[in-house]
Amino acid sequence: MELSGRVVVITGGAGGIGAAMARRFAAEGAEAVIVADLDAEAAGVVADDIGTGATAAAVDVTDAGQVAALVAQTEQRYGRIDLFCANAGVTSGVGLDGDFDRAWQVNVMGHLHAARAVLPGMLARGEGYLLQTCSAAGLLTSVGDAAYATTKHAAVGLAEWLAVTYGDRGIRVSALCPQGVDTPMLSEGLAAGHLGARVTAAAGAVLAPEQVAQAVVEGIEAERFLILPHPQVALFHQRKAENPDGWLTAMRTMVRRFSS
């Protein structure tokens, strides 16, 4: 899909990867970029920074009604949504005591609410694109954060199901799976001393959000299912599939090293 002339909605668009995608999509010539976020004021700052063609919207992705209203309002104004980026996400940084309910509602149900709301219009037109921000944790794991690891795996599973079910009806789906990215999610985790954040920061290059946005543009243009801003994630995923026990042993070794 070429981004020029497209109508794009991005949840979690007020900062980090979402804001970088919003700015980049606008630079690629998108007709409209709707910056949606729980923080309406911050979303407004991003939209104002972009200027013409960008608008802000307040939305809680855990509320199906709010997501449906966002889709309906956008379709009423522009006639369609070409690309919906379900990008909002949360992390906890802890193990079994993490907030599984919050993680599930944002990291999984937020994607499901979006798909349910936007697919009817896309299917009626015979085309549309869903971008799901899933994280490398959805292919590998998230050391120290059980809720994040679990829900990001579920997000990848949902993205796969959508691609299988609707791919022959003109719907394209991509799962964005970066590793470390220089966002508040990572920096706050590092400041708090979370094991997962420390492992992530040490596992490879920590990319700027703009580098991830570049990878997204390239992935959407190529209509790739897996968008991997960190190419090594593909190798790690392959090794995990080929030798699960060996991979688990290596991960436990890493946990011991960073826990000592």
Tell me the two tokens of residue 219. Answer: 């992935």
Strand 171-176 versus strand 128-133 pairing type = parallel
Amino acid at 215: A
Q: Is 7-259 a CATH 3.40.50.720 domain?
A: yes
pLDDT at 198: 82
Can you give the pLDDT of all 260 residues of the chain as single tens digits?
999 999 999 999 999 999 999 999 999 999 999 999 999 999 999 999 999 999 999 999 999 999 999 999 999 999 999 999 999 999 988 899 989 999 999 999 999 999 999 999 999 999 999 999 999 999 999 998 999 999 999 999 999 999 999 999 999 999 999 998 988 887 888 888 888 788 888 877 899 999 999 999 999 999 999 999 999 999 999 999 999 999 999 999 988 888 86
pLDDT at 7: 98
Distance CA 64, CA 116 (A): 9
Tell me the two tokens of residue 121. Answer: 């219009």
Closest Cα to residue 139, out of 72, 229, 35?
Answer: 229
The count of other CB atoms within 10 Å of the CB of residue 10 is 29
pLDDT at 204: 78
∠ at Cα 44 (42, 46), nearest 5°?
75
The arrangement of strands across the sheet holding 171-176 comes to 54-58, 32-37, 7-11, 83-86, 128-133, 171-176, 226-227
Instruction: Tell me, yes or no, if 148 is annotated catalytic.
Output: yes
One-letter-per-residue 3-state SS of 131-143: EEECCHHHCCCCC
91 — phi, psi (to 5°)? Answer: -130, 160
Distance CA 37, CA 25 (A): 17
Q: Is the pTM of this model over 0.85?
A: yes
Q: Of the residues 78, 129, 148, 166, which is catalytic?
A: 148
Domain boundaries, the chain: 7-259
